[in-house]
Amino acid sequence: MARPRKNEHIKEQLLNVGLETLLTNGYHGTGIKEVLDKLGVPKGSFYHYFRSKEVFAAEVIKFYADDLNHRLSAAVADKGELGLPALKHAFRLLVSEHKEGSGGCILGALASEIAETSDVCRLALQTEVDNWHCMMMVIIQQGQDTGEIRTDLDARMLAKMAWNCWEGSVLRMKIEGRPDPTEEVVEVMFDAMLKAH
């Protein structure tokens, strides 16, 4: 891979620190100054890359989702799995990241906090959640073709239910202060609720 140019490097660093800060302090609790101070980057540089805090948050959403989709696709492809085992493999990876203290899912966190008040962020979230659903739909469809996953509900609906259940379990993980609820969803949701009878 070509080495990123200096400018790309700064932008990526801003997005990285932004992601971490947004996950810890939320949108309203994140100050641009705090992000800049952590990196020793001047204010002008920030506004060179991002028109506003809102646009910055929208780019963090895309940055996070791109990285996650890339890692999950690679992990699933690497194992050569399809259908239910691929789905469980991908979600188990997420569980293990939560166990290491990932800080949760920025899509769920920003959806909860600002989707209703920022159209810029809402649209970024919608794009990424739609992408997620599409990725999951492909895998679920494979499982339906092999007869392993139930077919009384279509792949899109099953993907939506799995996403809902997963995001709810991330909230419960935060409430219980331990990642067990996410682990539970991977076992129960996929095995007992998506599996064909």
Positions touching a second copy (CB under 8 A) are 24-29, 103-104, 108-109, 111-117, 122, 125-126, 129, 152-153, 157, 160-161, 163-169, 171-172, 174-177, 181, 184-185, 188-189, 192-193, 197
Least Cβ distance, residue 134 to a second copy (angstroms): 15
Least Cβ distance, residue 48 to a second copy (angstroms): 27
- The CA R_g of the chain, rounded to the nearest whole Å, is 18
Nearer to a second copy, 11 or 35 (CB): 35
Cα separation, 157 vs 173, whole angstroms? 24
Nearer to a second copy, 6 or 197 (CB): 197
Nearer to a second copy, 15 or 106 (CB): 106
Nearer to a second copy, 139 or 158 (CB): 158
Backbone angles phi, psi at 76, to 5 degrees: -70, -45
Asked if 81 and 139 count as a contact pair (C-beta separation under 8 A), the reply is no
Cα separation, 78 vs 111, whole angstroms? 31
Nearer to a second copy, 50 or 132 (CB): 132
Least Cβ distance, residue 68 to a second copy (angstroms): 16
Least Cβ distance, residue 6 to a second copy (angstroms): 33
Least Cβ distance, residue 155 to a second copy (angstroms): 13
Cα separation, 52 vs 29, whole angstroms? 15
Cα separation, 108 vs 110, whole angstroms? 6
State which amino acid sits at residue 89.
Answer: H
Asked if 124 and 63 count as a contact pair (C-beta separation under 8 A), the reply is no
Nearer to a second copy, 10 or 174 (CB): 174
CA 126 from centroid of its chain's CA atoms: 12
Least Cβ distance, residue 183 to a second copy (angstroms): 12
CA angle 57, 159, 55 (to 5 degrees): 10
CA angle 181, 184, 186 (to 5 degrees): 115
